Structure 1
Amino acid sequence: MQGSANLNVMIKAARLAGRSLVKDFREVENLQVARKGPGDFVTKADMRAEEIIREELTTARPSYGWFGEETGEVKGADPTRRWIVDPLDGTTNFLHGLPHWAVSIALEHKGEIVSGVIFDAAKDEMYVAEKGAGAWMNDFRIRVSGRTRMTDAVFATGIPWGTRRTLPATVQDLAKLMPQCSGVRRWGAASLDLAYVATGRYEGYWEREVKPHDIAAGLVLVREAGGLVEPIHDGRDILGDGMVIAANSDLFGKFAETIRSR
């Protein structure tokens, strides 16, 4: 696609960070085999990727604000625009040598996500979208799934771990949804869950406790691919609340009704 200047800057930053992470990912696999502790190494890889992205974006647009997973928020001279960045979504997968993780970069303008880039560097899949310009994966236009029956649908979610407060509600969601659908996947990278909804690999996705960096780019991607995205609770802010539901337009109503029912 012929993207805007901002989108081109985002794509370049994502590719540079992705290239760095792929090199580090090979080392993580070696560390796993050697049974050394790879945790600190991954943290450094994550920070290095964010530094690469930040340098690219702030050099190109020094007045924009910044909100990075590792470095937090920095106000910009332009209060209407900010970057929202997760340099490595799917850190646990990365840590375990699983090739399912991504770089996620979004541009917010006046409180709305207007551009998004999600780069699955391990598979060389670049997902991009801009408001009003459609959604793309590499050089191909993408659309949400055309499936219309819940029994044919595959959904994705993130299942909370440890003592997270949303675990009981998520277990209830699964109990209600599983009998109606063809399956539920938990692959551990929210940005790619949304990218897969946009490209029709999943029919829908929901999550009750997710960081804004992980989903910001995916929101515009799904919408531009013809899908629907809403907060789980009406009237709430998706990024602020960390609760989201997305699906193709044919199944959204039934899917959302299932997740929202109590």
Structure 2
Amino acid sequence: MENIKDLEALTNEVRHIAVNAGLYLKEERKSFHRESVMEKHAHDYVSYVDKESERRIVEALSGLLPDAGFITEEGSAGYDDESYCWVVDPLDGTTNYIHDNAPYCVSIALRTKAELLMGVVYDPCRNECFYAWKGGGAYVDGLKMSVSDVCKVEDAFVVAELPYNSRQYAKTGEYIISQLYGKVSGIRMTGSAALAICYVAAGRFDVWAEAFIGKWDYAAAALMVLEAGGRVTDFYGNDHFFDGHHLIVSNGHLHLLFQDLITKVPPLDM
């Protein structure tokens, strides 16, 4: 496959794909019934909406880069080390969606084995489109994003999600929250990792952390944080985070402080 010469143009194409998928989610929600939901694992849900959104996205992306592989939440295709690969979450925030709550979103990233190239996250509830391409900055609806300048733990507005599908995993999340409780200005759970990380890029949150998370949840948004001046690592400070499952995302100023708190969690085996 030839090198992609115009990432900005490709990002704009992917924005249209993400928005179309998001509008499908929003429209379908009007007639959505919980009876259509299936449980993949304990408290991990999927419905025909996830699958149809993924089908539409994969079909459209295949037209842009026919030789690229796919990693998706509902099913993935392998890829060679040197090839391009789309990383897709067709509905991030499924549990929110099932209960007719916001937020939920569509997340699409393009990567090689070595780096993230572009990312798009569309929130149909607020009609916001976040996007970035490598070296080009990060944007929300045309406005350039930058992370916050908060540098004290006690001033930090933090997202710390609890894993949903294992009591063992939940204990890790609970421990993280216990380390933060009373030390920061506020802790929130959003139910959508992709959007929460975008909010770090936009300066709406200062730090996000979660253990046992899928790469489709964070791939697109992580690039936005990096392009907005923030930092993304695993819990132990490794910048090559993409194949990890335990991430800290921050404005950069707070990163080492929160890493010191979070690395005290019990051993992680995933």
Structure with the largest fraction of helix: 1
Percentage identity across paired residues of the two chains: 30
Q: How many Å separate the matches in 2 of 1:13 and 1:164?
A: 36
Q: Is the 8 A contact 1:9 1:56 kept in 2?
A: no
> TM-score normalized by structure 2?
0.88
In the superposition, relative to structure 1, how do residues 17 and 132 fare at CA in structure 2: closer, same or farther (>3 Å)?
same
- Report the counterpart of residue 66 of structure 1 in structure 2: 70
Q: Is the 8 A contact 1:211 1:239 kept in 2?
A: no
Which secondary structure state, in structure 2, belongs to the residue aligned with residue 84 of structure 1? strand
Aligned-partner residue type, residue 221 of structure 2? G
The offset of 1:79, in angstroms, is: 4.0
Relative to structure 2, which stretch is displaced further, 150-159 or 89-98?
Answer: 150-159
Q: How many Å separate the matches in 2 of 1:235 and 1:150?
A: 21
Q: 1:19 aligns with which of 7, 23, 28?
A: 23
Q: Is the 8 A contact 1:157 1:193 kept in 2?
A: no
Gap regions ≥5 residues in structure 2: 1-5, 39-44, 266-270
Q: 2:11 aligns with which of 7, 15, 21?
A: 7
Residue 110 (structure 2) pairs with residue 107 (structure 1): yes
Q: 1:180 aligns with which of 171, 178, 183?
A: 183
The offset of 1:101, in angstroms, is: 0.4
Q: 2:236 aligns with which of 228, 233, 238?
A: 233
Q: How many Å separate the matches in 1 of 2:223 and 2:237?
A: 19
| Cα offsets for 1:127-160 (capped at 9, x unmatched) | 0011111110001111111222221211102202
Q: How many Å separate the matches in 2 of 1:115 and 1:162?
A: 29
Q: RMSD between aligned alpha carbons? A: 2.1
4+ long deviations beyond 4 Å: 234-237
Aligned-partner residue type, residue 149 of structure 2? G
Aligned-partner residue type, residue 99 of structure 2? H
The offset of 1:120, in angstroms, is: 0.5
Relative to structure 2, which stretch is displaced further, 61-70 or 95-104?
Answer: 61-70
- Report the counterpart of residue 202 of structure 2 in structure 1: 199
Residue 257 (structure 2) pairs with residue 251 (structure 1): no
- Report the counterpart of residue 100 of structure 2 in structure 1: 97
Aligned-partner residue type, residue 184 of structure 2? C
- Report the counterpart of residue 41 of structure 2 in structure 1: none
Q: How many Å separate the matches in 2 of 1:62 and 1:195?
A: 28
> TM-score normalized by structure 1?
0.90
Which secondary structure state, in structure 2, belongs to the residue aligned with residue 135 of structure 1? strand
The offset of 1:176, in angstroms, is: 1.4
Q: Is the 8 A contact 2:7 2:117 kept in 1?
A: no
| Cα offsets for 1:65-113 (capped at 9, x unmatched) | 111111312437x942110000000000000000210100000023311
In the superposition, relative to structure 1, how do residues 11 and 80 fare at CA in structure 2: closer, same or farther (>3 Å)?
same
- Report the counterpart of residue 121 of structure 2 in structure 1: 118
In the superposition, relative to structure 1, how do residues 162 and 129 fare at CA in structure 2: closer, same or farther (>3 Å)?
closer
Which secondary structure state, in structure 2, belongs to the residue aligned with residue 240 of structure 1? coil
- Report the counterpart of residue 138 of structure 2 in structure 1: 135
